[in-house]
Structure 1
Amino acid sequence: MSDRASDFAPEQYRGFLILLARSAWDAALRDWGDPSDIVHQTLLEAHQKRDTFQGETAAEFAAWLRTILSNNLYDVGRAVHRAKRDVRRKQSLDAALAESSARLGCNLSLDDPSPSKLAATAEQLNRLADALERLPVDQREAITCHHLRGMSVEATAVQMNRTRPAVAGLLRRGLKQLGSLLGERSAR
């Protein structure tokens, strides 16, 4: 393990991982549990496998955690679906996590962020994940589909079996409440 690897605490990435897990969560996985369960498992594995981390930057550490999360999501999905291994599903899951990661972790992708910048980014992602959890289920799902998965409003409406105006309303109310929750937490 590099000297730099000891600078990274997997717990700092909890919010980032929860948001990624939520972005990949589908209807079948809801029967298994909650995204926070798979993130807990991922963080536990990261601690156990810490000495296998070969990178030296925050971006490499985030990618390493994302790989562990991807493998865990694939394993749970396979167990839920009881299907034979489908390499295309694994590649699709990896691509979806990479895209969501790019949406969320722009500050994590810096080659060598300062410890204070890394801590601030981790705190922001944790606050966002916590605030997202406090939203009503429909608003959370609309925001997850549209903003984390990058789906259009139309595709989100189809996914949620709602009309486009209904989804637009959920997004508007959800973002307003999310902003209020994040503002409330920063005022404390």
Structure 2
Amino acid sequence: MPNQHDNTANLLNQYRDYLALLGRLQLDPMLQAKVDVSGVVQATMLEACESDWASLEELDKLPWLRRVFSNNLLDEIRKFRTEARDVRRERRLSHRVDQSASRLQMWLKSENPSPSHRAVQAEDELQLVGALASLPDAQREAIELHHLKGLPLEEVSRIMQRTKGSVAALIFRGTTRLRQIMPPKQGERDE
């Protein structure tokens, strides 16, 4: 018979890819090889299981997870960079995690701020993150860097060590695949 801890763990699993995406978007290339984002995600999940996360209002769960994830990511970064102890840098990382989440929301084109719409939007974010995770690595990385991190194609091509044309093709193929995976909502079909 499953207990409360198991139920919370099952509910949290839907956020695993979301947190991993936020971590990938925030780490600079030098730290990506050193910081174990999946370990930070796991620590965040454990912390949520041991807390009263399940009792939070639905709209408060995602911001709470982002805040705990940001703190855990900062702790991990501190192990590799003494300058990360600067409080201004810590605030910036937390702010950047929130900005990445906002870019994800903007990419989903939300203009209705009602609570029910925000709940649907949170579900859409998780669906998008799951769809991104299913893409080939190169397509996922190109989309994350260009659309979610906001980098120009030239910068993405430099980071990925590919031509600008091949990066554009990766983005095109990836977004085409995302549209197939995530069909438009009822109101979006008519536009």
TM-score (norm 1): 0.70
Bigger relative CO (Cα 8 Å, ≥ 6 apart): 1
User: Contact (CA 8 Å) 1:96, 1:149: kept in 2 or not?
Assistant: no
Cα distance in structure 1, aligned partners of 2:44 and 2:28: 18
Of 32, 42, 45, 1:43 maps to 45
Tell me which residue corresponds to 1:97.
97
Contact 1:157/1:163, CA 8 A, preserved across alignment: yes
**C-alpha distance in structure 1 between counterparts of 2:58 and 2:133, whole Å:** 29
Structure 1, unmatched stretches of 5+, are 1-8, 184-188
If the length of structure 2 is used for normalisation, what is the TM-score?
0.69
- 2:76 aligns with 76
Alignment partner, residue 113 of structure 1 = 116
Equivalent of 2:33 in 30, 33, 37: 30
RMSD: 3.2
Per-residue deviation, 1:14: 4.0
Counterpart amino acid of residue 23 in structure 1: L
Match of 1:137 in 2: 137
Point out where structure 2 has 5 or more consecutive residues left out of the alignment: 1-10, 184-191
Counterpart CA distance in 2 for 1:56 and 1:136 is 35
Does the 8 Å contact 1:17/1:39 carry over to 2? Answer: yes
Aligned residues: 167
Instruction: Quote how far apart the aligned CAs of 1:26 are.
Output: 3.5
**1:4 — aligned with what?**
none
Q: CA distance change for structure 1 residues 25 and 98 in 2, over 3 Å: closer, same or farther?
A: same
> 1:63 aligns to what?
63
SS in 2 for 1:151: coil
Secondary structure of the equivalent of 1:127?
helix
Aligned residues of 1:57 and 1:112 also touching (Cα < 8 A): no
Code of the aligned partner of 1:141: E
Deviation per CA, 1:84-113, whole angstroms, max 9, x where unpaired?
423343233122111111123466x94633
Deviations 1:132-182 (A, max 9, x none): 222222211111111211222222223323332222111112212233344
